[in-house]
Structure 1
Amino acid sequence: MNISFENPDKINGLMTLTFEKEDYQPAVDKQLKDYRKKANVPGFRPGQVPMGMIKRQFGTSVKMDVVNKLLGEKLYEYVRENKIQMLGEPLPSDKQKMIDPEKDETMEFVFDIAVAPEFKAEMTADDTVDYYNIEVDDALVEKQVDMFCSRTGHHEKVEAYDPAQRDLLKGDLRELDAEGNVKENGITVEGAVMMPEYIKVEEQKNLFNGAKLGDIITFNPRKAYPDNDSEVSSLLKIDKEKVAEMTSDFTYQVNEVSRFVKAEVNQELFDQVFGKDEVKDEAAFRQKIAEGIKEQLAVETDYKFLLDTRAYIENKVGELQFPDALLKRIMQNNNKDKDEKFVEDNYEASIKELKWHLIKEQLVAANEIKVDDKDIKNVAIESARAQFAQYGMTNVPDEYLDKYADDMLKERKNIDSLVDRAIDVKLIAALKGIVKLNEKTMSLDDFNKMMQEK
């Protein structure tokens, strides 16, 4: 067996693997003997089928199976031992000669191999990267308090509808005929729930202003929601396809008016948000909210730091030469259901991500970053905690978070992203300890505006 590798321009490699008969024949003979032991051929007892018959029937396919397996093993073994940073999969070269598996004993395989460009990515104390601290001010805390009060509030019954309060109405709908009388066999919906505040047409919306229990309002659902067939369909309990032909007026008799009342800032709210007796007064409640906001925002500012570090070091590394023609072939091979336009449209973005991937690999190696199961589990737990926090659930028990994280880890599709996140967490911490941080303080609104612009 002989393996040679040519790489004159450093990024386009040509690997040639030559197998002689003695390289693969022992494995072929062994597999054919196994076939003979198991072969079930009429007229022969098990294990007694002539080897000549076995070779004629299975010889060529077994030979190619053995050679293909050997080919893969030796190719990747050579790449690994010679530390070739291969991009994507090797592709058969146009220099490949035809092989007759039945006749040829010596087989030569030629592959094109895309090789990563050589460069050095390094961050030192001489490098300066912006780091944003988001100011947790009273207004931000107040907004969070209001959110908790809203999420733990309740509805209470009132006598009259007030549009400023976004009250909820419950009543009976009845379809009218052209003369304004209740239509015989018309649509009737009992206990229909409405929030007039969301009616788009002011003329129709205003009909409900000041409505009291027992009042009967005449309105036109189609005119009230001219651009929302789904709303009309849901309100009248009819198929969406029938909305277009629905032009009737309806009466709505108000049977109930409910008003949403926010929770009070008291011990009951403290316990609901942070757990029984974790917080004893409003000052401590606001302080704990501020601390929670700061922790959540630290994730955002660290993410921004990683983005800025990426832009900084990509600029520092400069332009890199890639084997474009070969990488486009690989991309096309990996997306066989797509046409050439897909490759052309997406190649530039793919190369941008590839450059960052190669840079990140060097940074991870230079800082000896490794992640284990515990690191990945911690990231899953923090991800679960963040998801619950979005819904105002800040006192989720640790055992529940632990179970939620375990469920995430059971899904194979989640593993790669969790591993990447675990690596990012450690990389961010390492880089923050190396580079000079140009710290800046700004409001959350300004930070969000900056991120949207990016």
Structure 2
Amino acid sequence: MNVSIEKTGNVSAILTVSIEENDYKEKVTKELKEIGKKHNIPGFRQGHVPFGELNRRFGKQVTSDVINNEVYNAVVGYIRDNKLGVLGEPLPVDVVELDLKNKKDFTFQYELALVPELNIEAGKDTTVPYYTIEVTDEMINEQDKNFRERFGAQVPGEEVEPNALVKGSIMELNEDGTVKTEEDAIQMLNGIVAPMYFKDKEQADKFIGKKVNDKVVFNPWKTCEGNAAELSSMLGVDKDKAADIKGDFEMSISEIIVVRPAELNQELFDNVLGKDKAKNEEEYRNGVKEMIARELARNSEMLFRVDVEKAMMAKYGDMELPAEVLKKWLVRRNEGVTAENVDAEYVKMEPSLKWQLVKERLADICQVKIEEQDLINHAKMIARAQFAQYGMTNMDDDTLTDYARRILADKNYRPRIVEEVGDVKLFDAIKDKITVDNKTVSLDEFKEIATKE
């Protein structure tokens, strides 16, 4: 078998594979004999089918399969052994049925879209800003308030406050404001509403200041803008019926539940930061400040990555790509892409493809390597954030590690984590190689900068 390559442009080539009968004949014979051993063929005992009969019945298909397999392995092997950078996959120049009756030797050709040579550098001559968002006392106070409410106690209240839950019977009203008593009347005897989540402030304000045994006339449909699921839950009716319920209801208040914020004590410190992470108010506030800073740093990091991409693409984005070969590949690999719309689809794809090539070259320069422990640590961070959504902020390390391993065992989720970890390590490495212009800004200033970017 002979494999050769001919450049057809700076970033395209034709790979030619010539295969002779001696390259595949022995494997075809072996495959046919295996069929005779393993399959029941009418008229013959298993394992005693004459080779001529096997060849007559299966020779054409087996020969075609073996040739295609041998050629494919030759193409892949040539690309691997010669370390060719190929975009997409090799494209057959012609797809025709093999004329096995009249020919024994065959030649196949494949178009290759080659990765352009990129002389990329990541040095101190490249300057990129990094915006650190200042954590203010107001942010700390607001977060402290949220934590105190989250870990506070729900107690009976004397009147409805802005964050109160209200329990009681909810009765459908007639147009004249009287309680509907017909058989089909909607009556929710053990109803519960949360005015703080109403989308209509006017409806929420109707409850504020009301006390047990008071009655409130309100419009459930307006509280949730007709959301069928919310109406179904509030009124105890089927979702199919809920969206059509637009009239007023009367709620007779039987119980008011209010939240009393947690006291500033060790229990709160432990709930928020983890056991014994803070012993006094100053340490607690510092811990909350660090927590906020970590959250804001995600935004800083995202903007930094955008700025790195802009800087690198400005320097190296003007590269030649094998557009025509890639367009053929797009049409062949994507159902929605046709000869009529491929030009438009390619224009959409080209910028991200160029950035991906630049990013891969940067990863090589920065010698980015991803270890299994890196993946576990990142998955633990994801697990910690998921637990925190349910108020579990101080999970032990064994539980987090076990949950992280389960996340990584998900074949659909793992590639995403690998990509995220790769990006984290890459941009951390880039920070060490380029000049980073550190700037501290307020949250409002950051929003303005990010909007412009």
Q: Same fold (TM over 0.5)?
A: yes
Deviation at 1:413, TM superposition (A): 1.3
Report Cα offsets for 1:198-251 as digits up to 9, x if no partner: 556676555544322112334454576664455444332223443566465543
Tell me how far apart the structure 1 counterparts of residues 452 and 175 of structure 2 sit (CA, whole Å).
54
Under a length normalisation based on structure 2, what TM-score does the superposition of the two structures give?
0.90
Distance in 1 (alpha carbons) for counterparts of 2:282 and 2:159: 37
| Matching residue of 1:38 | 38
2: CA distance, partners of 1:381 / 1:205: 40
> What SS is found at the alignment partner of 1:251?
strand
Structure 1, residues 6-41: CA drift from partner, whole Å, max 9, x if none? 213122211111111111111111222222233423
Whether the aligned pair in 2 keeps the contact of 1:39 and 1:49 (CA below 8 Å) is no
Post-superposition offset of 1:142: 2.1
State the match for 1:5 in structure 2.
5
Provide structure 2 residue ranges, at least 5 long, that are not aligned to the other structure: none
Aligned partner of 1:402 in structure 2 is 401
Distance 2:222 2:361 in 1: 63
DSSP-derived class of the 1:101 partner = coil
Q: Does 1:362 align with 2:361?
A: yes
Distance in 2 separating the partners of 1:247 and 1:77: 69
What do you get for the CA RMSD once the two structures are aligned? 2.7
- Alpha-carbon distance, 1:59 to partner: 0.8
Deviates more, 1:346-355 or 1:309-318: 346-355
Which of 164, 168, 173 is equivalent to 1:171? 168
| Residue identity opposite 1:83 in structure 2 | K
* In structure 1, C-alpha distance between the alignment counterparts of 2:346 and 2:70, rounded to whole Å: 33
Contact 2:227–2:243 (Cα < 8 Å) also in 1: no
Q: By how many angstroms is 1:285 displaced?
A: 0.6
Q: State the alpha-carbon separation in 2 of the partners of residues 111 and 450 from structure 1.
A: 48
Give the letter aligned to residue 81 of structure 1: D
Structure 2: how far apart are the matches of 1:144 and 1:225? 27
Q: Which residue of 2 aligns with 1:63?
A: 63
Q: 2: CA distance between counterparts of 1:198 and 1:296? A: 25
Aligned positions of 1:186-265 closer than 5 A: 186-196=185-195, 207-221=206-220, 227-243=226-242, 246=245, 249-265=248-264
Q: Determine what percentage of the aligned residue pairs are the same residue.
A: 36
Check conservation: 2:216, 2:250, Cα contact below 8 A. yes
Contact 2:313 2:355 in 1 (8 A): yes
Closer, same or farther in 2 for the Cα pair 1:16/1:182, shift >3 Å? closer
User: What amino acid sits opposite 1:277 in the alignment?
Assistant: D
* Alignment correspondent of 2:25: 25
- After the TM superposition, which of the residue ranges 11-20 and 35-44 deviates more from structure 2? 35-44
Secondary structure in 1 aligned to 2:167?
strand
Per-residue CA deviation, residues 335-360 of structure 1 (Å, 9 max, x unaligned), is 12555566444422322121112112
* Counterpart AA for 1:9: G
* Distance across 2 between alignment mates of 1:84 and 1:249: 72
How big is the shift at 1:299?
4.3
1:51 alignment partner in structure 2: 51
Structure 2 distance, partners of 1:298, 1:177, is 55
Indicate if the aligned counterparts of 1:148 and 1:392 stay in contact, CA closer than 8 A.
no
Deviations, residues 261-297 of structure 1 (Å, cap 9, x unaligned): 2222222201212233332111011112223333444
User: Which residue matches 1:353?
Assistant: 352
Q: Which runs of 5+ in 1 are unaligned?
A: none
1:316-351 superposed Cα distances (whole Å, 9 cap, x missing partner): 114112122221221222212555566444422322
Distance 1:282 1:29, change over 3 A: same
Cα distance in 2 for partners of 1:206, 1:49 equals 89
State the partner residue of 1:80: 80
Distance 1:369 1:167 in 2: 52
Residue 412 of structure 1 aligns to a residue in which SS?
A: coil
1:417-437 C-alpha deviation (Å, 9 max, x unpaired) = 222222222222222111111
Q: 1:436 maps to which residue?
A: 435
